[in-house]
Structure 1
C-alpha cells in the first residue's frame, strides 16, 4: 500500500465508523470491532502496534484501570452505600432539580482533580442513578452534567486528566506547576459551567413533591445492609485514593493501583467471583479496545501527526498564533479522537516547538495551551474522553440510555464556551501580562 493511499483509507474507515456510532444505526461495539479489524486486515496497522505500541495501539493502562475500578465499585455497590448517598443528596437538595444538579456537579468537580475522571464518574454515577430513581426523575441530564464537570475539573491537576500526565512527563512539569497554571482558570470555567447548566438542562428539570416528601422522611442509613463490610471496603477505597494521589512519587502506573486495590477489595470483602465480575462493563472495555485500534491506525499512518504539523507550521514564529492553534486545534481534534492517544502523538511536536521559543516562559505557555485544548476537547463528543464512554456504558446498563447526539449537543456548547475562555486566559496570562 502506498504512503499516500494508507492515510486516505484510514480516514475513510474512521469517518464511516464514526458516522455509524453517531447515528446509532448499529451496535457501537460491533462497529469498532469491524472497523479496527478491517484497518488491521488491509495493513493500516499491525499486531505489533495493536498489542505492544504505547502510541499506536491499545492503551492497556486505560483498560486495566477501568477493569480494576469496575471491580472495586461493584463490590462497594453491594454495601448499599450508593443508595444511602442518593437519599442524602436528595434530602440536602430538598429534591429541587437545579440544586441537586449543582450538588452532584460540585462533588464530581472536587473529586476529579485528585482522582482520574474515569474513577470519579464510576463512583458518582451509581449515586446519581439511585437519587434519580428515588425522585422519579430522568438521570440523563445529571449524568451528562457530571461527566462534563469531571472533564473540566480534572484539568486542574497533573493526575486529574490523562493528557496532563502525558504532557507533564514530556515537558518535565510538576504537580505544583499544574496547580499554579491550570487550577485558577479551571475554577473560573467550572463556575461558568454551573451557570450554563441552569439554562442548558432547564427543560429536563422535573419536580415531584410527593416523591420528595417520601424521600425526606426516609432514613439515609437504612439501605446499608452490612456496616462491617462497608467499613472494610471504605478503608480499602481510601487507600486506593491516596495511592492515586501519590502514584507519580512512587512511579506506579494508575492501572497497577486499581488492580492492586481490586485484589485487596476482593479479599477483604470475601464476595464470590460471580458477584463482582457481574458488575464489570465488559462491553465498554471491548469498545475501548476497538476504538484504540482505530485511533492507532490514524497514528500509525501519520494522519494525526500531519494535521498537527500542518497547523504548527502554518503559524511560523508567531507564538501567540501557535498557542491559539494549540488551544482551538486540540479542542477540535480532541473532540473526535480520544484525547489520550491524541496527546501522546502531539506531545513531541509541541516539545519541538517549545524548544525553539525565544524564552522558557513562552515555550511553557505552549504546553498550557496544549493541555487546556486537549482536556476541554474531551467534552466535545460522546467519544472524546474515556469518562464519556464509561458514563454511556453505565447509563445503558441501568436502562437509562443516552444517545451519542444527546450527549454531544451539550458537550459541543460546553467545549466552545470553555475553550474560548481558556484562549482568553492564555492570551492575557502569557502574552499580555508578561
Structure 2
C-alpha cells in the first residue's frame, strides 16, 4: 500500500471511531474527513464529487420533501390510530404489524422511502400509548433492510447485481424471498424476547387510544386524497423505473415536485422538514469511501479475498457472504458491490460457476446493513428522526443488538445458500 492508500484508510477509521464515540456530530465528522482527503490531495475535487451517489441523495431529498407534504394531511395519524384499533391497542401486536408493513413496502419501494413513511406513524402511536419508540425503530430498521433483500428493486445492490448478472425480478423472488421470510420471522422472535415481553401499557392508556376516532386525525381531506394517489404513483414508479429508463431519484424528485405543486403547500415550510444532516453525512461518507476506491484499497481487499478462497465455489460463496456482510455494516454497500461485480464477471469468464457468488453478494451486502447504525441509508434516516424527536439511538446501543442479529441472519442465509447450491 502506498502513502495515499494508508492515509485514506486512516481517515476512514478515524471517522468511524468518531461516529461511534458520538462526541462530535456525525455530519461534521463526515464533512471534515472528506475535507482532509481533499486537502491532502488523496483525490481531486472532481474525483470526490464523482463518488457521491447523487441517485441516493436524490431519493433521500425527494422523499423527505414528499413525506413532509403528506404529513400535513394527517395520514400518519390516521394510519397510526387505525393500526392500534386493529391490534386492539397491544404494543407487541402493533410492532408486528409495523414490521410486516415495513418489510413488504421495502421490497417494492426504496428503503428510505419506507422508513420515512413508517417513522412518523411509529412516533404517533408510541406517544399515544406512552411507550419507548426506540425498540420499534430498531426492529423497523432491520425489517427494512431484510425486506429490501427480497426483490430486484428492494435495495440498490440487488439492482446492480441483477443488471450485471442478467437476473430478473422473478429470479430474486425465487432465490432471495424465501430465506428473507424465514429471517424476518427469526428476528421477530428475538425481538419478542428482547422487548416484546416488556411492552405493556395500562388499560386506561390502551382504552384512551381505542376510543380515538381515526378520521379525526385527518387534517386536510383534499391533501389526503392527493397523497393516496401520489403514493400509488410512487410505488408504480419505483417498480417500473428500470423499464422506463429513469433513475429512482427521478421518481422521488418528480413526486415531490408534483405533490408540492398540486397541493399548494408552503414550500419553504416543507423544506424545513428535510433532514439536511442526513444528506450532509452521506455526501461526506461517499467521498471518504471514494478515497479508498481511488487509492485501490477496496480493489486490493476484494482481490485478496478471491486469492484466499481459490477455486472452491462453495467456500468462496460462504467467505464472500460473510465478508460482504461485515464490510457492508461499516462501508456503504454500493461501492463494495460495484467493486465485486467486475471481479465476479472476470471469474465467470475464466470458466468458474459464479451463480452462488452473485446470491452470496446480494444477501451479504443487503443483510450486512443491519450491523451498525451507518450500515444502510434507512438506518441513518430513522436514527435522525428518532434524535430529532427526543429519542436518540446511540451507535453503541444499536450495535449491541444489530451486529449480533446481523451475524445470526447471515448464518441462516449461509446455511440456506449451502443447501441450495450444494452439488447433488
What TM-score does the superposition give when structure 1 sets the normalisation length? 0.95
Residue 254 (1) aligns with residue 248 (2): yes
Residue 365 (1) aligns with residue 356 (2): yes
Displacement of 1:343:
1.4
Residue 12 (1) aligns with residue 10 (2): yes
Residue 390 (1) aligns with residue 370 (2): no
What per-residue deviation string (whole Å, max 9, x for no partner) do you get for residues 257-278 of structure 1?
1111111111111111122111
Q: State whether residues 45 and 300 of structure 1, in contact with CA within 8 Å, keep that contact through their aligned partners in structure 2.
A: yes
Residue of structure 2 in register with 1:300 after alignment: 294
What TM-score does the superposition give when structure 2 sets the normalisation length? 0.97
Displacement of 1:101:
1.2
Displacement of 1:365:
1.3
Unaligned 5+ runs, structure 1: none
Residue 29 (1) aligns with residue 27 (2): yes
Structure 2 distance, partners of 1:140, 1:427, is: 35
Alignment of 1:334-345 (within 5 A): 334-345=328-339
Residue of structure 2 in register with 1:142 after alignment: 136
Structure 1 distance, partners of 2:196, 2:226, is: 40
Count of matched residue pairs: 424
What per-residue deviation string (whole Å, max 9, x for no partner) do you get for residues 322-380 of structure 1?
1011100101111110112221122212222233344xxx3211100111110111101
Residue of structure 2 in register with 1:208 after alignment: 202
Alignment of 1:272-287 (within 5 A): 272-287=266-281
Structure 2 distance, partners of 1:193, 1:127, is: 21
Structure 1 distance, partners of 2:116, 2:82, is: 18
Structure 1 distance, partners of 2:376, 2:8, is: 21
What per-residue deviation string (whole Å, max 9, x for no partner) do you get for residues 188-226 of structure 1?
111111111112324763423221110011101101011
Residue of structure 2 in register with 1:125 after alignment: 119
Moved more, 195-204 or 325-334: 195-204
SS at match of 1:249: helix
Q: State whether residues 324 and 423 of structure 1, in contact with CA within 8 Å, keep that contact through their aligned partners in structure 2.
A: yes
Structure 1 distance, partners of 2:6, 2:200, is: 48
User: How big is the alpha-carbon RMSD for the aligned residues of Structure 1 and Structure 2?
Assistant: 1.3
Structure 1 distance, partners of 2:219, 2:88, is: 25
SS at match of 1:26: coil
Q: State whether residues 147 and 180 of structure 2, in contact with CA within 8 Å, keep that contact through their aligned partners in structure 1.
A: yes
Displacement of 1:12:
1.1
What per-residue deviation string (whole Å, max 9, x for no partner) do you get for residues 207-258 of structure 1?
2322111001110110101111110121112111111111111111000011
Residue 374 (1) aligns with residue 374 (2): no
Residue of structure 1 in register with 2:321 after alignment: 327
Unaligned 5+ runs, structure 2: none
Residue 199 (1) aligns with residue 197 (2): no
Residue of structure 2 in register with 1:313 after alignment: 307
Residue 421 (1) aligns with residue 415 (2): no
SS at match of 1:222: helix
Structure 2 distance, partners of 1:46, 1:200, is: 47
Residue of structure 2 in register with 1:163 after alignment: 157
Residue 347 (1) aligns with residue 341 (2): yes
Displacement of 1:382:
0.5
